[in-house]
Structure 1
Amino acid sequence: MSVVVTGATGHLGRLVVEELLARGVPADQVLATGRDAGRLAEVGALGVRTAAVDHDDPSTLDGVLQPGDTVLLVSGSVPGARLDQHRAVIGAATLAGVGHLVYTSATRADDTDLVLAPEHAQTEEMLRASGLPVTVLRNNWYTENYAADLARAKDTGVLASGTGDGRVASATRRDYAAATAGVLADPAPHAGRTYELTGAVAWTYDDLAAAMAEVLGRDVTFHRLTPEEQTAALTGAGLDEGTAGFVVALDGNIAAGALDVVTDDLPRLAGRPATSLVDGLRPLAG
């Protein structure tokens, strides 16, 4: 039996593999899958086994999953495409009779207006219908999502968004990976559980601007944008109207409180506290 990490060539999946090895899971019991051959080879250099898998081609999953395996389904990164990808993995896992399936979902997936949530909620429904032992990890925002904002603030001294007074309980990818590895290394106690993984503090964008100022060593001011101002700024920067509308809707969700939940699930599963906002931003400063 193996611990299978799908999407191991992505940012989160690679870190989960590293965290599993750090927890003492033998490398030959870890199977990393992904579709980018070069990145898969880099993960394989850690000593784990690898398999080339493309979730857009379900046939590549044939024979990869085995009875009794513990499988991490890292959610797909492309909205609109990932539901079919998730269906392919869940189907293959069910057919193989894996021992446990763990899924990285979104905050409050079944009770939120967050524009990213519907596909996650539908995936959670598919997981419940599979009959497999399942654990759902609902990840809040990644602190790394603010790398581009930090770079702009470095040049301009301004953090601009339509998030208003909304709060975000972010943590780093490494934090989420540590919590995920904690479940994968000993999945049985977590069967049937859904965890809301968050940072320790739900911060405002004024707090984010202050953290950026500390990291950059310069003043940073948060500039609140109306939806109309934000749309104009995004389309003026070259985004198409559909993408701009998605970003504006997402910031509106944050303003309405979609990401303000705080729990102690992450440190309990990771075995350590979540990284602070300032410390999470420091590596992004270049």
Structure 2
Amino acid sequence: MTILVTGATGNLGRLVIASLLERGADPQSIVAGARDVAKAEDLGVRVARLDYTDPSSVAAAVEGVDSVLLISGSEVGQRVAQHQSVIDAAKAAGVTKFVYTSAPKATTSDLVLAPEHKATEELIAASDLPSVILRNNWYTENYAADVARAAETGVLASGAGDGRVASASRKDFAEAAAVVLLEDGHIGQVYELGGDVAWNYTELAGAIAEVTGREVEYQPLTADEQLAGLQAAGLDEGTAGFVVALDSGIAAGALADTDGTLARLIGRPTTPPRRRHPRDRLISRSP
């Protein structure tokens, strides 16, 4: 069985390949799809050029592959067309397992990121590819900048209100992808994946305070306050508005659900934002 991982040089892609190898996959059975193949040379597996915007490169990378992991692209507003090229190539190549990293409740969520994921899921369904959908909640690492800023200023500011986030580490989500790719079955499943614990920003502020040894206050912001602050920090209006919309979705509960599916898939508890041993902390004194 040959597995193609798209976006293989990204943060998640690298961890998926590492997880596949840790679980015993033959390095020669893994193909790392990357826009810049030089960046994939350290992965220890076969490498193929794969640029979402170049359908010929996608078709060449997928040729002869049994399973494909489509890691969603990072270019918001362009992802549906980019994903379509991978779906079309996989269909033409007769791929027998197609796995996609989507967003929580993508087909029903009001989260600003959901529409592109919803559209991609619909394209996959229309293709009749044997598929598995992994609806990943937030990566805890997404909050590294917020944690660093709060550790410096003593303030954690957000428009997320009292909304909870069932985050887990990227490694947790990468392991789930590896399990689904390597195991028989899973075809037709839509997995809602999240951490075992859903936390809010008040609890995050407390965790940062515990680790840094200084008081950290959570400062809830209105949408207008957050927008003004982000623009004052140098973000353009569109980007700032996107961040505000994300936090508004969190405040409304878009990322709060967790039912243990991720832990069951990977066979262990998910990684909490902060663990007792300092070297295991995602929130820590080290960057």
Could you list the structure 1 runs, at least 4 aligned residues long, displaced by more than 6 angstroms after superposition: none
Percentage of pairs with the same residue: 56
Specify the code of the residue in structure 2 equivalent to 1:219: E
The corresponding residue for 1:80 is 77
| TM-score where L is the length of structure 1 | 0.96
What is the aligned residue count?
282
- 1:210 matched to 2:206: yes
Q: 5+ unaligned residues in a row in structure 1: which ranges?
A: none
Deviates more, 1:88-97 or 1:68-77: 68-77
**Which residue is 1:103 aligned to?**
100
Q: CA RMSD in A?
A: 1.3
Deviation for aligned residue 1:67: 4.9
Amino acid at match of 2:159: G
Residues 192 and 146 (structure 1 numbering): CA distance in 2 closer, same or farther, change over 3 Å? Answer: same
1:67·1:99 contact (CA, 8 Å) conserved in 2?
A: no
Matches within 5 A, 1:216-255: 216-255=212-251
- Whether the 8 Å CA contact 2:37–2:47 is kept in 1: the answer is no
In structure 1, C-alpha distance between the alignment counterparts of 2:165 and 2:36, rounded to whole Å: 32
Summarize the alignment of residues 122-271 of structure 1 with structure 2, pairs less than 5 Å apart: 122-186=119-183, 188-271=184-267
Query: Partners in 1 of 2:42 and 2:64 — Cα distance?
Result: 27
Name the amino acid aligned to 2:163. G
> SS of 1:281's equivalent?
coil
Separation (CA, whole Å) in 2 of partners of 1:147 and 1:281: 8
- Cα distance, 1:68 vs. partner? 5.8
| CA positional deviation for 1:64 | 2.0
Does structure 2 conserve the Cα–Cα contact (< 8 Å) formed by 1:160 and 1:223?
A: yes
Amino acid at match of 1:285: S
Quick one: distance in 1 between partners of 2:122 and 2:95?
18
2:110 equivalent to 1:113: yes
Aligned counterpart, 2:278:
none
CA distance in 2, matches of 1:284, 1:243: 29
Please state how far the C-alpha of 1:215 moved relative to its aligned partner.
Answer: 2.4
Matches of 2:209 and 2:188, distance apart in 1: 42
Once residues 283 and 123 of structure 1 are traced to their aligned partners in structure 2, the CA distance between those partners, rounded to angstroms, is: 36
Q: In structure 2, how many angstroms separate the alpha carbons of the residues matched to 1:68 and 1:239?
A: 41
Q: Which residue identity lines up with residue 196 of structure 2 in the other structure? A: A
Query: Is residue 6 of structure 2 the alignment partner of residue 6 of structure 1?
Result: yes
Q: Deviation digits for residues 63-96 of structure 1, max 9, x if unmatched? A: 3223561110000011101111100000000000
Q: What is the alpha-carbon distance in structure 1 between the residues aligned to residue 9 and residue 201 of structure 2?
A: 31
Q: Which amino acid aligns with 2:238?
A: G
Letter in 2 for 1:134: S
- Contact 1:212/1:281 (<8 A) preserved: no
Distance in 2 (alpha carbons) for counterparts of 1:106 and 1:19? 21
Residue 17 of structure 1, CA deviation: 0.2
> Partner amino acid for 1:139?
N
Letter in 2 for 1:282: I
- C-alpha separation in 1, matches of 2:24 and 2:285: 29
Unaligned runs of 5+ in 2: 276-280
Are 1:215 and 1:281, in contact at CA under 8 Å, matched by a contact in 2? no
How far apart are the structure 2 equivalents of 1:18 and 1:67?
Answer: 22
